[in-house]
Amino acid sequence: MWRLFSAFFLGWSLGANDASNVFGTAVSSRMVRFWTAALLCAGFAVLGAVLQGEEGLATYAELSSYGVSVAFVVAMTSALTVTLMTLFKLPVSTSQAVVGAMIAAGLFADGVQWGSLGKVVACWVGTPLGALVAAMVLYRLLGALLNRLDLDLFAYDAFLRRGLILAGCWGAYALGANNVANVTGPFVASGLISPIMGVWLGGLAIAAGVLTYSYPVMMTVGKGIVSLNAFSALVVVTAEAVTVHVYAAVGVPVSTSQAVVGAVLGIGLLRDARTINTRTLGNVALGWLFTPAIAFAFTWAWLWIERAV
Amino acid sequence: MSFTFPWRGSPNVKGRILAYLEQADLCLARFRDAFTRYLAEGPGDAFDGLRAESHRAESAADDLRREIEQTLYERELLPESRGDLLSLLESVDHIPGAAQGVLNILFLERPALPGFLVSHLSQLVELNLEAYTAINEAVRALMEDPARTRALRNRVDELESRSDRLQQLAIRELYTSELELARKLQMKDVIRTIGAISDRCEHTADLLNIIAIKRRI
């Protein structure tokens, strides 16, 4: 059971990082106190994990099956990969790291289910694309609604603030539902813990990360999103929540960071395509390629050394 | 660790802005009284008393503005609404300031107002105060009825143009008169300072326009 520490560590780092994607805007712009956001985010992440997290666990079970010690390696190398990518200031996808590590572990044991892998990789492309389309549609619809309502300054402000809180709660729910499989999926697949225990442990680990260490990341990442106006930020968080929730229902763990990037890109295309920073976009794409590749390499190396020793 | 209910509105800010506008109203009302008294009687205790009342109202408005700014910085509203309101308040605050500028010239320099300018000065003050009234209503409408803000903004533009024309007419008459150059310069200063009220109003109207445009998607 001590090996579950690695899962908790991964969940903790995931919660600490990804909370910024749902509440970074509200906290960094001082619309909501950190503790209000953190408690809401942690609560809804646990709720999402417990109520809708089992679909993703089932996908991980399909993807590969191996022993507890390999599951420990997968969690540890995924956490290492995420940390390394964070050092390079690239958007981190825990899902990609975990899947890359699991494929390496599966290949090492000759047990990868390539059919399920195809479904996961297709969804990686679909996440930013889906969020991009969702953001464009939401931007038009919500924009038309607000123009028609012609709200006064305070009502307009309240609409956006409440919208950001609601979208944040929804995003946190989707984060828990979708990403809990990244945290405990390998251990559930290995049979060490039951799916119910997996969703509770994973959900609580994410919540712990949100509550204890999400503040600095919220302040950093959130300020990046605030460069959009509040209306666009609401559209981004809602589009992200919709997209990640859809994937949670399908049972494919995806990255909230990728969804955010897709949604921001969608708004950029609607407003003025020239404002899109292609260099940053290129770096993000590189990060998406390198994350699973590095996790794969770490896991392969770890297992190879372990076998040699 | 404190937990704030995330749905709360901003009654504090709105209420304080309305209170601020009332103080600004009072300041401008006393400005009118003081100026009218000066036109009728020249310098004296009555004028000084009204000027002091106008000044007190302006100070009270300043205190309220600082309170609003502090509330906004502490934790109210979205950053962009916060920024817009702070700029708007700062802009509105220049209007009572401009009125105080006129009263200060009268109080400190005690100029003798030439008879041929009295009517122009009186009209100029009324036009500028009308522009202020429209701005005051436009700011209130921004918080209650945005569609009305647009109409009031146009009214301010119109009044500012009329004020400009009247200033030009008054200055032209002033310089064709037989007054000494020093008095001409002093009177020009009075005319320009009164006109600054509607100039400030126009600046605030432009700001209101930007605030409204930013909220159209």
pLDDT band of B163, cuts 50, 70, 90: very high
Average pLDDT, chain B: 91
- Residue A34's CB is within 10 A of a number of other CB atoms, namely 19
| Cα–Cα distance for residue pair A211/A44, rounded to 1 Å | 12
Partner-chain residue, chosen from A35, A142, A157, that has the shortest CB–CB distance to B78: A157
pLDDT band of B88, cuts 50, 70, 90: very high
Which of A186, A244, A246 has the alpha carbon at shortest distance from A60?
A186
| Closest chain A residue to B8, measured at CA | A158
Report pLDDT for A63: 65
CATH class of segment(s) B11-214: mainly alpha
Q: Is the Cβ–Cβ distance between B95 and B201 less than 8 Å?
A: yes
- Answer whether residue B206 shows pLDDT above 50: yes
Q: What is the CA radius of gyration of chain B?
A: 19
Residue with tokens 């009263």: B103
Taking CA atoms, A63 is separated from A120, A188, B135, in Å, by 9, 12, 66
A43 touches chain B (CB under 8 A): no
Report pLDDT for A59: 79
Report pLDDT for A225: 54
Quote the tokens at residue B172: 């032209």
Contact: A230, B216; criterion CB under 8 Å: no
Partner-chain residue, chosen from A33, A147, A154, that has the shortest CB–CB distance to B10: A154
Report pLDDT for A87: 67
Q: Which residues of chain A have pLDDT under 70?
A: 29, 63-66, 86-87, 89-91, 110, 220-227, 274-275, 280
Picking from A34, A39, A152 by the largest number of B CB atoms within 10 A of its own CB, the best residue to mutate is A152
Which of A163, A125, A165 has the alpha carbon at shortest distance from A247?
A125
Residue B96 one-letter amino acid: P
DSSP of chain A: -TTHHHHHHHHHHHHHHHHHHHHHHHHHTTSS-HHHHHHHHHHHHHHHHHHH-HHHHHHHHHHB---HHHHHHHHHHHHHHHHHHHHTTPPP-HHHHHHHHHHHHHHHTT-B-HHHHHHHHHHHHHHHHHHHHHHHHHHHHHHHHHHHHT--HHHHHHHHHHHHHHHHHHHHHHHHHHHHHHHHHHHHHHTSS-HHHHHHHHHHHHHHHHHHH-HHHHHHHHHHHHTS-HHHHHHHHHHHHHHHHHHHHHT----HHHHHHHHHHHHHHHH-GGGS-HHHHHHHHHHHHHHHHHHHHHHHHHHHHHHH-
Report pLDDT for A61: 72
Query: How would you label A227-265 residue by residue, b for 16+ Cβ within 10 Å and e otherwise?
Result: ebbbbbbbbbbbbbbbbbbbbbeebbbbbbbbbbbbbbb
The C-alpha of B212 sits at a distance from chain A's nearest C-alpha, in angstroms, of 9
Report pLDDT for B45: 95
Report pLDDT for A53: 93
Partner-chain residue, chosen from B14, B214, B216, that has the shortest CB–CB distance to A147: B216
| Cα–Cα distance for residue pair B162/B194, rounded to 1 Å | 13
pLDDT in tens, A45-64: 999 999 999 988 887 777 66
| Cα–Cα distance for residue pair B33/B30, rounded to 1 Å | 5
Residue with tokens 């559930």: A188
| Cα–Cα distance for residue pair A44/A172, rounded to 1 Å | 5
- Answer whether residue B142 shows pLDDT above 60: yes
Report pLDDT for A222: 59
Taking CA atoms, B82 is separated from A32, A51, A153, B71, B151, in Å, by 14, 38, 10, 10, 24
Which residues in chain A have Cβ-Cβ distances shorter than 8 Å to B4? Answer: 32-33, 36
Report pLDDT for A99: 83
Quote the tokens at residue B149: 């803000």
| Cα–Cα distance for residue pair B83/A207, rounded to 1 Å | 33
Longest C-alpha distance within chain A, in Å? Answer: 70
Which residues in chain A have Cβ-Cβ distances shorter than 8 Å to B144? Answer: 152
Report pLDDT for B3: 44
Provide the percentage of residues in chain B whose pLDDT is more than 90. Answer: 79
The C-alpha of A121 sits at a distance from chain B's nearest C-alpha, in angstroms, of 36
A148 touches chain B (CB under 8 A): no
pLDDT in tens, B92-114: 999 999 999 999 999 999 999 99
A149 touches chain B (CB under 8 A): no
Which residues in chain A have Cβ-Cβ distances shorter than 8 Å to B81? Answer: 153, 156-157, 230
Report pLDDT for B11: 60
Contact: B1, A35; criterion CB under 8 Å: yes
Which residues in chain B have Cβ-Cβ distances shorter than 8 Å to A35? Answer: 1-3
Q: Is the Cβ–Cβ distance between B32 and B103 less than 8 Å?
A: no
Partner-chain residue, chosen from A36, A157, A226, that has the shortest CB–CB distance to B6: A36
Contact: A139, B217; criterion CB under 8 Å: yes
Which of B91, B102, B118, B117 has the alpha carbon at shortest distance from B30?
B102
| Cα–Cα distance for residue pair A276/A186, rounded to 1 Å | 37
Which residues in chain B have Cβ-Cβ distances shorter than 8 Å to A166? Answer: none
Which residues in chain A have Cβ-Cβ distances shorter than 8 Å to B145? Answer: 152
Q: Can you give the residue ranges of every domain in chain B?
A: 11-214
Which residues in chain B have Cβ-Cβ distances shorter than 8 Å to A29? Answer: 78-79
| Closest chain B residue to A158, measured at CA | B9
Question: DSSP label at B111?
Answer: P
Give the number of domains in chain A: 1
pLDDT in tens, B115-130: 999 999 999 999 999 9
Provide the percentage of residues in chain B whose pLDDT is more than 70. Answer: 94
Report pLDDT for A271: 80
pLDDT band of B151, cuts 50, 70, 90: confident
Report pLDDT for B4: 44
| Residue, of B78 and A246, whose pLDDT is higher | A246
Report pLDDT for A214: 83
pLDDT band of B2, cuts 50, 70, 90: very low
Which residues in chain A have Cβ-Cβ distances shorter than 8 Å to B148? Answer: none
Contact: A154, B9; criterion CB under 8 Å: yes
Contact: B143, A161; criterion CB under 8 Å: no
